[in-house]
C-alpha cells in the first residue's frame, strides 16, 4: 500500500465524517443524508459508512478544501485520495497487531498465512444468507465489503472485527481492484482471517474469480461461500420462474455494461434475442434502453413481458412491469430514477 500525499477532504465528506464521529446513535435514527437513509446499502459518502469505518480515521482532523467549488471529478478525487492516505496509519497499526498475535500464537516457528473467504451475501435480505456465511462473517478479523452488501447483513459483524469499505459506483471507486487484491494479500500474510463480502454470489459478475486467482498465485488459501444471486433471489420474491415448461427452456445471465464502460449493451443482443430463453441483465441501468432496442431489432417480439427491479428483496424494493416495447419507452423517461437495476426478466408471450 503506497503512501498517498494527503489532500484536503471535500466539504461533503467533511460534513458526513463529522456527523459520524459525533453522532454514534443507531443507524436507524440518523437522518443526515437523505440518499443513505433511503438506501438499504452503503452509499459512497454516507454517514453509515463513516460510522462503520471510524476506526480508520482516529488521527484525522478534517479541513475544508482550499478550492471552495471543485468540479464533481475533482471532488471525488479529493475524497478517494484523502481516504486512502488517512486510513493508512490505522491499517499499518492493525497489520502490526495481527502479526504480533500471529507470532505469539505460533508453535514450532513456522506460521502460515491466514485464510481469505469470498462470501456472497445475496441480494440484500439477511435471512437469505447461508449458515456458513453467517459463521464466517462473525469470526472474521477484517471484512472488506462492497456497496451492495446490505446494512442488515453488516449488522451481523462481530463488535471487535474491523470493517473496510471498498465499494465502487459509477465514477467513484473507493479502491481499485488491484488495491483490493493487495489489501487481501497483506492481511492474509499477517495471519488474519479476512472476509471479502460481496453482494449476490462472489462468482456471478462479482470479480471473485480475479481475487481468487491472484491470492492463490501468492500461496493464500481461498474459500468461496456462495450467495443467492440477484436473479434467483428476486425471481423468488416476485414469484416469476426463471424456467417454465413450454415457455422458457433456458436462462441466461448477462452483464449490462462492458468492461471498459460505455453505452453499448455489448455484442450479445443478436444471439440473446431468443423467445424461449429468460434473459437476466445485471447492472443494466445505463444500457437497458439500447439493449431492449437491439433485442427487438434482432427479432425478439416487442410484446415480450419484462420487469425491472431495484433493491430487490429489501424493504425498499421497487418494480416496473410491462412489455418490452412500452417498457423501453418508459425507461427512457424514468431511467434516472433507478440507481441500481438488478435484472430484467423477459419471456415469450405465448
Please check whether residue 53 lies inside any domain of the structure: no
274 noted as active-site residue: no
The chain-wide mean pLDDT, for the chain, equals 74
Residues 141 and 168 in one domain: yes
88/44: higher pLDDT: 88
**pLDDT band at residue 326 under the 50/70/90 scheme:** low
- CATH code of residue 140: 3.40.1010.10
pLDDT in tens, 118-133: 999 998 889 999 999 9
Last residue of a domain, one of 198, 228, 258: 228
Q: 161-187 burial string, b = 16+ CB within 10 Å, else e?
A: ebbbbbbbeeebbbbeeeebbebbbbb
SS3 state at 75 = helix
Which of 17-26, 136-145, 173-182, 320-329 reaches the highest mean pLDDT?
A: 136-145
Please check whether residue 304 lies inside any domain of the structure: yes
Please check whether residue 248 lies inside any domain of the structure: yes
Residue 335 dihedral angles phi and psi, to the nearest 5°? -60, -30
Please check whether residue 293 lies inside any domain of the structure: yes
Torsional sign, CA 8, 10, 13, 15: positive
Please check whether residue 81 lies inside any domain of the structure: no
Q: How far is CA 168 from CA 87, 149, 228, 338, in A?
A: 17, 12, 20, 17
Residues 277 and 182 in one domain: no
Residues 205 and 285 in one domain: no
Residues 222 and 164 in one domain: yes
Please check whether residue 18 lies inside any domain of the structure: no
Residues 176 and 268 in one domain: no
Last residue of a domain, one of 195, 228, 261: 228
- CATH code of residue 241: 3.30.950.10
pLDDT of residue 265: 52
**pLDDT band at residue 54 under the 50/70/90 scheme:** confident
**Would you tell me how many other CB atoms lie within 10 Å of the CB of residue 157?**
18
Please check whether residue 38 lies inside any domain of the structure: no
Catalytically annotated residue among 75, 83, 125, 146: 146
Residues 270 and 223 in one domain: no
Do the bridges between strand 305-310 and strand 341-346 make them parallel or antiparallel, or are there none, so unpaired? antiparallel
Q: Spell out the alpha helix ranges (H) of 106-219.
A: 131-139, 151-154, 177-189, 208-217
Residues 163 and 222 in one domain: yes
Residues 244 and 328 in one domain: yes
Q: What is the domain count for the chain?
A: 2
**Res. 17: pLDDT tops 60:** no
SS3 state at 34 = helix
Question: Which triple of cell numbers denotes residue 187?
Answer: 492481511
168 noted as active-site residue: yes
pLDDT of residue 335: 32
Residues 171 and 235 in one domain: no
Catalytically annotated residue among 75, 125, 283, 294: 283
Domain of residue 291, residue span: 231-334
Residues 299 and 316 in one domain: yes
Question: Which triple of cell numbers denotes residue 213?
Answer: 486467482
Bridge-partner residues for 320, per DSSP?
Answer: 308
**pLDDT band at residue 203 under the 50/70/90 scheme:** very high
115 noted as active-site residue: no
Catalytically annotated residue among 101, 168, 274, 296: 168
Residue 144 dihedral angles phi and psi, to the nearest 5°? -95, 120
Residues 224 and 235 in one domain: no
Residues 261 and 314 in one domain: yes
Question: Which triple of cell numbers denotes residue 138?
Answer: 462473525
Last residue of a domain, one of 228, 259, 293: 228
Please check whether residue 103 lies inside any domain of the structure: no
d(CA 282, CA 305): 17
**Res. 86: pLDDT tops 70:** yes
User: Lowest-confidence range among 12-21, 137-146, 224-233?
Assistant: 12-21
Amino acid at each position: 500500500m503506497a503512501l498517498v500525499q494527503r489532500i484536503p477532504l471535500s466539504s461533503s465528506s467533511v460534513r458526513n465524517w463529522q456527523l459520524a464521529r459525533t453522532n454514534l446513535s443507531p443507524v436507524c435514527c440518523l437522518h443526515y443524508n437523505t440518499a443513505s437513509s433511503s438506501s438499504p446499502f452503503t452509499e459512497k459518502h454516507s454517514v453509515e459508512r463513516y460510522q462503520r469505518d471510524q476506526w480508520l480515521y482516529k488521527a484525522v482532523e478534517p479541513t475544508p478544501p482550499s478550492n471552495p467549488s471543485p468540479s464533481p471529478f475533482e471532488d471525488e478525487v479529493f475524497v478517494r485520495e484523502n481516504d486512502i492516505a488517512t486510513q493508512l496509519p490505522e491499517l499499518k497499526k492493525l497489520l502490526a497487531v495481527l502479526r504480533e498475535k500471529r507470532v505469539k500464537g505460533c508453535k514450532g516457528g513456522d506460521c502460515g498465512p491466514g485464510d481469505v473467504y469470498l462470501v456472497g451475501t445475496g441480494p440484500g435480505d439477511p435471512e437469505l444468507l447461508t449458515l456458513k456465511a453467517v459463521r464466517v462473517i462473525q469470526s472474521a478479523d477484517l471484512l472488506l465489503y462492497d456497496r451492495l452488501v446490505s446494512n442488515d447483513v453488516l449488522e451481523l459483524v462481530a463488535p471487535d472485527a474491523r470493517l473496510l469499505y471498498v465499494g465502487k459506483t459509477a465514477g467513484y471507486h473507493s479502491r481499485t481492484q488491484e488495491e483490493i487484491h493487495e489489501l487481501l494479500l497483506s492481511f492474509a500474510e499477517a495471519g488474519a482471517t479476512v472476509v471479502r463480502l460481496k453482494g449476490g454470489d462472489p462468482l456471478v459478475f462479482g470479480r471473485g474469480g480475479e481475487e481468487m486467482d491472484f491470492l492463490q498465485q501468492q500461496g493464500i488459501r481461498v474459500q468461496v461461500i456462495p450467495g443467492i444471486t440477484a436473479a434467483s433471489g428476486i425471481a423468488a420474491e416476485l414469484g416469476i420462474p426463471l424456467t417454465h415448461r413450454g415457455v422458457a427452456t433456458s436462462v441466461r445471465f448477462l452483464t449490462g455494461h462492458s468492461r471498459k464502460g460505455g453505452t453499448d449493451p455489448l455484442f450479445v443482443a443478436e444471439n440473446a434475442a431468443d423467445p424461449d430463453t429468460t434473459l437476466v441483465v445485471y447492472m443494466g441501468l445505463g444500457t437497458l434502453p439500447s439493449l431492449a432496442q437491439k433485442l427487438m431489432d434482432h427479432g425478439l417480439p416487442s410484446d415480450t413481458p419484462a420487469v425491472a427491479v431495484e433493491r430487490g428483496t429489501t424493504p425498499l424494493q421497487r418494480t416496473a412491469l410491462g412489455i418490452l416495447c412500452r417498457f423501453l419507452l418508459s425507461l427512457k423517461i424514468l431511467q434516472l430514477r433507478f440507481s441500481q437495476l438488478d435484472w430484467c426478466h423477459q419471456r415469450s408471450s405465448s
